[in-house]
Structure 1
Amino acid sequence: MRHIKKILSKVDKEGKETTKEKIVKVAMKLFAEKGYSDTSVNTIVREAGVSKGAFFHYWKSKEDLLREMLDTYMSEVKQAYDALAGLNLSPKEKIRQIFRYVEQKHREHEDLPYMLVVFMRVIFTPGTPLREKYVSEFWKIIYEFIEKELGIKGMPKGSGIVLISALGAYSLFKLTPDLIKLPNPDDIADVIWDGIKSVANAEG
Structure 2
Amino acid sequence: MPKTKEQFEEIREQSRKLILDTAASLFAEKGYLNTSISTIAKEAGIAKGSLYHYFKSKEELLNELLIYAIGKEKEIFDKVEPMGLPAFERLEQLCKEFSEVVMENTREWRIYFNFSLQADASFFKEEHVVAHLGRVQMTFYQIFEELGVEDPLLETSSFVAQMFGAFAMFLYSPNEEFQLQRVLMHYINRYRT
TM-score over 0.5 for the pair: yes
Matched residue, 2:109 = 116
Distance 1:64-1:163 versus aligned 2 partners, 3 A rule? same
**Of the two, which has the highest radius of gyration?**
2
Q: Determine the structure 2 residue equivalent to 1:145.
A: 139
The runs of 4+ residues in structure 1 deviating greater than 4 Å are 102-107
Asked if 2 retains the 8 angstrom alpha-carbon contact of 1:142 and 1:160, the reply is no
**Percent identity, aligned pairs only?**
21
Contact in 2 for aligned 1:73/1:115 (Cα 8 Å): yes
Give a deviation string over 1:34-65, Cα, whole Å, max 9, x none. 22222111111122221112211111111111
Q: Which residue of 2 aligns with 1:125?
A: 118
- Aligned counterpart in structure 1 of residue 51 of structure 2, from 52, 55, 59: 55
> Match of 2:153?
154
> Does the 8 Å contact 2:167/2:180 carry over to 1?
no
Amino acid at match of 1:127: D
RMSD over equivalenced CA pairs, Å = 3.1
Unaligned runs of 5+ residues in structure 1 are 1-11, 198-204
Determine which structure has greater relative contact order: mean sequence separation of CA pairs < 8 Å that are 6+ residues apart, divided by chain length. Answer: 1
Aligned length: 175
Map of 2:130 onto structure 1: 136
Is 1:44 the counterpart of 2:40 in the alignment? yes
Determine the structure 1 residue equivalent to 2:93.
97
Alpha-carbon separation, structure 1, partners of 2:101 and 2:83: 21
Change (3 A) 1:171 1:123: same
TM-score, normalised to structure 2, is 0.73
Q: CA deviation at 1:80?
A: 0.7
